[in-house]
Structure 1
Amino acid sequence: MADASSRTDTSTVLDTDDKNQMVDGQSGAIVPSNSSDRSDRSDKPMDQKVLRRLAQNREAARKSRLRKKAYVQQLESSKLKLASLEQEINKARQQGIYISSSGDQTHAMSGNGAMTFDLEYARWLEEQNKQINELRTAVNAHASDSDLRLIVDGIMAHYDEIFRLKGVAAKADVFHILSGMWKTPAERCFLWLGGFRSSELLKFQLLVNQLEPLTEQQLLGLSNLQQSSQQAEDALSQGMEALQQSLADTLAGSLGPSGSSGNVANYMGQMAMAMGKLGTLENFLRQADNLRQQTLHQMQRILTIRQAARALLAIHDYFSRLRALSSLWLARPRE
C-alpha cells in the first residue's frame, strides 16, 4: 500500500506539472515545455519581415555596385578612347617630311590627300607656264583676236581646274590648303584663305598700268569689281574671325576649374562641338575660291581680248616674281 501510495503521488505530481515541464526519457533532466515553442512561433512573422527587408537591402546594394562598376568601366573606356585619339593626333603631327621638287619648301604631310594635291599643283604650275609662254609669244607676234581668244580661254579653263583640285583636296585636308604650305614662303606672306586676294589683282598698280588705254566704262567696271571683291573679302574675314572666337570659347568651356580637362562626358561633348565648327572651314575656303574664280571671269568680260591677254600675263609675272623672291631668299648667304 505504501508503494501504491507513492506511485499515486508521483503520478499526481507529474500530471500537475506536465503543463509546464517534461522529463527527458533518457537523462531524466527536466526541460522547458512547449510554451516557449509557442512564443517562438509567435515571433516568426516578425523575423520573416526582417529577413525580407535585409534581402531587399542586399539586392539594392548589389544593383548599386553593378551600376557603379558599369559607370567606372564607361569612364575607363572613354579614357582609352581619348588616349587613342591623342595618339592619332600626335602620329599625324609627326608624319614624314615632304620636300617639294623645287627644293624651296619643306613641310609636314598629314596624309595622302595633301601629297596628291602638291603633286597635282606642281603639274598644274608647269602646264600654266607653258600656256603663258604660248600667250606671250602670241601677244608679241600680234596674233589675231581669234587666236588670242583660244589661248586666253584655255588659261581661264586652267584656272578653273586649280579651283576644282583645291576643292577636292580640302575635303581630304582643309588645313593643308588653308595653310598654303603648297606655295612658296613669299607667296604665303600674302596668303588669304588659301589663296590670293582678288582685290589685290585689280589694283591700278598691277593691272591698270599694264592695260592702258582703258575706257571710262572699263575703269568704272574694274573699280566696281575691285570694291565688290573687297567687300566680299571683308565679310569672309569677319566670318573667319567669328569662327576662331567661337572655337576658342568652346575649347575654353571644356576646361575644369583647375585648368585641366573636366569630366570625360563634358570634354567629349565640347570637342564634338568644336569638330562641328571646324567643318565650316571647308565652306569658307570654297567661298574664297569662288570669289577668286568669279573675279577672274568678270575681269575677262570687262576687258577686250588683247587687254585680257596682257592682264593674265601681268598676273602670272607677279606670282612668278614672288616665287623667284622665295628662291633668292632661301639661297641667300648666311653668316
Structure 2
Amino acid sequence: MVGLGGGNALGNGHFENWGDSGLADNSQQTDTSTDVDTDDKNQYIRVPSGAVTVVDSVDQSSARPGDQKTLRRLAQNREAARKSRLRKKAYVQQLETSRLRLTQLEDELKRARQQGLYMSAGICGDQTHPTGLNVAMAFDMDYARWLEEHQRLVNELRSVMNSHLGDAELRVLVDGIMSHYDEIFRLKGVAAKSDVFHMLSGMWKTPAERCFMWLGGFRSSELLKILGNQLEPLTDQQLMGICNLQQSSQQAEDALSQGMEALQQSLVETLSSNSLGPTGSGNVADYMGHMAIAMGKLSTLENFLYQADLLRQQTLQQLHRILTTRQAARALLVISDYMSRLRALSSLWLARPKN
C-alpha cells in the first residue's frame, strides 16, 4: 500500500485530482466534512498533496494504524452528521405538525364562536336584550373582520409607498386607515357597555399582545417611542410637537392608572368590610347594600376604558396633524408592522416544541 503523501491510488486503483474534479479548495488542512452520505461504499480522504485517495471498504483492514484512525474519525463524523440531520428533520416535522394543529384549532375556535353566536341568537329571539356572552362573541367576530380589512388597507398603502406615487394617492389611503381606526374604537365602546371585562382583559387579542396591553389597548406614549427612530428626518417643530405629545400622553396614562389603582383599593375595602359578615349570617340587607356599592364602583370601569381609547384615538389624530402625508403613511406602516410581529410571536410561541 502506498503512503498518504504519494499521488498513487489505493484500494481499487482509482485516482481523482482535486483540480480536475472541481471540488478542491486548495486547503492544506484535513477535511472532516460530514456531508458524505453513509450509504456510499467508498470513503474519501483529502491529503496534503491535493489528491483524493479512494479506499475500498474491504481494504480498510489492511490500512496502517494512522490511516485507520483517520478512517474511524471520518466514520464517526459521518454518523454524527447523520444523527444531526435526523434530529433536524424530526424538529422540522414537529414544527410543521404544530403549525397545522394551530391552524386547525383556530378554525375550530372560529366555528365554535359562530355556532355560539347563532345559538345565542336563537335563545334571545330578536336580540333586543343580548347577553354579555353574545356581545363578546359578536365583538370578537367584528374585530377579526376589522383586522382583515386593516391588513388589506396597510398592504395597499405599502404598495403605493413603494411605487413612489404622489402625495394625493397617499393622502386618500392615510385618511382611510385613520377612519378605520375610528371604527374599532366605536366597536369597543359599544361592546364595553355590555361586557367591559371582556374588553379590558383583551381576550380578543393574541397572548403576546395582551402581555403589553394597558386598559384594553396600547399605550400611546410607548407607541410614540417606537416611532421615534422610524420616521423620516423631522424638523425641529415636528420634534417638539411629538415630544410634547408624548409627555401629555404619559401624564394622561399615569392619571388613568392611578384612578384604576384607587378604584381597585376602594373595591377591596368595600368587599372586605367587617360589617358584611358571612353570607349565611342572616344580615342580608347589609350584605346587599355593600354589594350594591361595589357594583356602583365597578360601573366606572366603562368610563376608564372610554378615556383610554379616547387618548389613543386623539394621539393618532395629533400625530397625523404633526407629520407630513408621507411621514404619516410611514408611521402607520411602522405601527402595523409592530402589531403584526406581536401576533406572529404569539403564533410561534404556541407552535413551539413542548418537550
| TM-score bucket of the superposed structures, by smaller chain | 0.5 to 0.7
- Tell me the distance in 1 between the aligned counterparts of 2:176 and 2:190: 21
Q: Please tell me whether residue 290 in structure 1 is matched to residue 310 in structure 2.
A: yes
- 2:136 corresponds to 1:114: yes
Change (3 A) 1:214 1:160: same
Rounded Cα–Cα distance in structure 1 between residues aligned with 2:281 and 2:301? 25
Does the Cα contact within 8 Å between 2:208 and 2:343 map onto a contact in 1?
yes
| 1:54-81 residue CA offsets vs partner (Å, 9 max, x unmatched) | xxxxxxxxxxxxxxxxxxxxxxxxxxxx
2:273 is aligned to 253
User: In the alignment, what sits opposite 1:273?
Assistant: 293
Alignment of 1:138-157 (within 5 A): 138-157=160-179
Name the structure 1 match of 2:194: 172
Q: Which has the higher helix share?
A: 1
| CA offset digits 1:150-209 (Å, max 9, x no partner) | 000000000000000000000110000000000000000001000000001101xx2122
Give the conservation status (yes or no) of the 8 Å contact 2:150–2:180.
Answer: yes
Whole-angstrom CA distance in 1 between matches of 2:354 and 2:335: 32
- TM-score normalised by structure 1 residue count: 0.66
Q: Distance in 1 between matches of 2:352 and 2:281?
A: 46
Q: Contact 2:213–2:219 (CA<8 Å) still a contact in 1? A: yes
The answer to whether the 8 Å contact 1:178/1:193 transfers is yes
Which of 214, 219, 227 aligns to 1:207? It is 227
Written as runs of structure 1 = structure 2, the 5 A alignment for 1:27-176 is 101=107, 111-176=133-198
* Gapped regions of structure 2 (runs ≥ 5): 1-104, 118-131
Give the secondary structure class of the aligned counterpart of 1:210.
Answer: coil
Q: Distance in 1 between matches of 2:346 and 2:277?
A: 47
Instruction: Supply the distance in 2 between the matched residues of 1:287 and 1:261 (Cα, whole angstroms).
Output: 40
Check whether the contact 1:255–1:262 (CA below 8 A) recurs between aligned residues: no
How far off is 1:117 after superposition? 0.2
Computed over aligned residues only, the root mean square deviation of the Cα atoms, in angstroms, reads 2.2
| Equivalent position SS for 2:195 | helix
Per-residue displacement from partner, 1:100-129 (whole Å, max 9, x unpaired)? 55969x999951000000000000000000
Report if the CA contact (8 A) 1:148-1:309 is conserved.
Answer: yes
Is 1:319 aligned to 2:339, yes or no?
yes
Cα deviation digits, residues 124-155 of structure 1 (max 9, x gap): 00000000000000000111111100000000
The question of whether the paired residues in 1 share the 8 Å contact of 2:276 and 2:290 is answered with no
| Paired AA for residue 332 in structure 2 | L
Runs of 4+ off more than 3 Å? 99-104, 106-110, 254-262
Q: How many residues align?
A: 234
Taking a change above 3 Å as real, the CA distance of residues 260 and 304 of structure 1, as seen in their structure-2 partners, is farther
Change (3 A) 1:118 1:219: same
Taking structure 1 as reference, are residues 193 and 250 closer, same or farther at Cα in structure 2, changes over 3 Å only?
same
Q: Once the two structures are aligned, what percentage of the paired residues are identical? A: 71
Shift of 1:210: 1.6
Judged with a 3 Å threshold, the aligned counterparts in structure 2 of structure 1 residues 313 and 103 are, in CA distance, closer, same or farther, namely: farther
The whole-number CA distance in structure 2 between the counterparts of 1:187 and 1:327 is 11
Question: Which residue of the other structure, out of 296, 303, 307, is the alignment partner of 2:323?
Answer: 303
The match for 1:62 is: none
5 Å-filtered alignment, 1:238-249, equals: 238-249=258-269
Structure (1 or 2) with the larger CA radius of gyration:
1
- TM-score (normalised: structure 2): 0.63
Runs of 5+ in structure 1 lacking a partner?
1-98
Q: Do the aligned partners of 1:254 and 1:261 also contact (CA within 8 Å) in 2?
A: no
